[in-house]
Amino acid sequence: MPGAGKTTAGRQLAHMLGVPFADVDVEIERRIGCSIRSFFEQHGEVAFRQIEADTIAELVKRPAHVLATGGGAVLRPENRAALKANTVVLYLRATPEELYRRLRHDTQRPLLQVADPLRKLRELYRDRDPLYQEVAHYTVETGRPSVSHMVNMILMQLELAGVVDNQLVKSATLRH
């Protein structure tokens, strides 16, 4: 979901693991030469979602790295399939109310530029939560922890799953 901490936690996680970080939205803006908000206004959501799908298809083929997708990436079946098959997907789950608290002053997210952003977040959550759960290998309840606490929770989840080894998690936790 927007505001769940994908980019913030992703950057820190990549740093702690010593791997590159990529943000799908940043890569899209680099490709289109303008902000996503401007692109949305000029070309609409359908055109944006196609560029997003093309970008994800390329990024999931890169060697080991941390990838943050946009919140709507799960809307297309091809994105869900590419992410599920080629990556380890972590769903950073937060309630719409928590997301609203984080995003209430945000003016850059096109889907939240509406009269009632909390209602919109509730609708997005209702529609997207099942898709996030479908594609996720692991879910991390974000609630209100600090970013470092959330990243440590992610590292522990990855360690328990055997995705990263115990020594790496200990080293990453100590460095932070």
* 95 appears as a binding residue in the annotation: no
Please check if 126 is assigned to a binding site: no
Cα–Cα distance measured from residue 139 to residue 141, given in angstroms and rounded to the nearest whole number: 6
pLDDT above 80 (res 4): yes
Q: What is the dihedral of CA 94, 100, 102, 103, to 10 degrees?
A: 120
120 appears as a binding residue in the annotation? no
- Collapse the DSSP code of 92 into the 3-class scheme (helix H, G, I; strand E, B; otherwise coil) and give the result: strand
Domain assignment present for residue 174? The answer is no
119: annotated binding-site residue?
no
| SS3 call for 19 | coil
In a domain, 1, yes or no: no
Q: Is 122 exposed, middle or buried (0-12, 13-18, 19+ CB in 10 A)?
A: middle
Q: How far is CA 99 from CA 4, 39, 120, 129, in A?
A: 7, 24, 11, 13
Query: Does 71 show up as a binding residue in the annotation?
Result: yes
The answer to whether the annotation marks 49 as part of a ligand binding site is yes
**Count of domains forming the chain:** 1
Domain housing 76: 6-169
Distance CA 58, CA 66 (A): 14
Read off the CATH number of the domain in which 40 is found: 3.40.50.300
Annotated binding residue 84: no
In DSSP notation, 99-152 reads HHHHHTT--S-GGG-SS-HHHHHHHHHHHHHHHHHHH-SEEEE-SS--HHHHHH
**What is the rounded distance in angstroms from the CA atom of residue 112 to the CA atom of residue 119?**
10
Q: What is the pLDDT of residues 123-173, one digit of tens each?
A: 999 999 999 999 999 999 887 768 888 898 899 888 888 888 755 555 554
- Residue 173: the pLDDT is 46
The answer to the question of residue 175 being in a domain is no
128 annotated as ligand-binding: yes
Residue 2 in this model has a pLDDT that exceeds 90: no
- Residue 30: exposed, middle, or buried by beta-carbon count in 10 A (0-12, 13-18, 19+)? exposed
pTM greater than 0.75: yes
- What pLDDT, in 10s, does the model give residues 29-69? 999 999 998 998 899 989 999 999 999 999 999 988 999 99
143 marked as binding residue: no
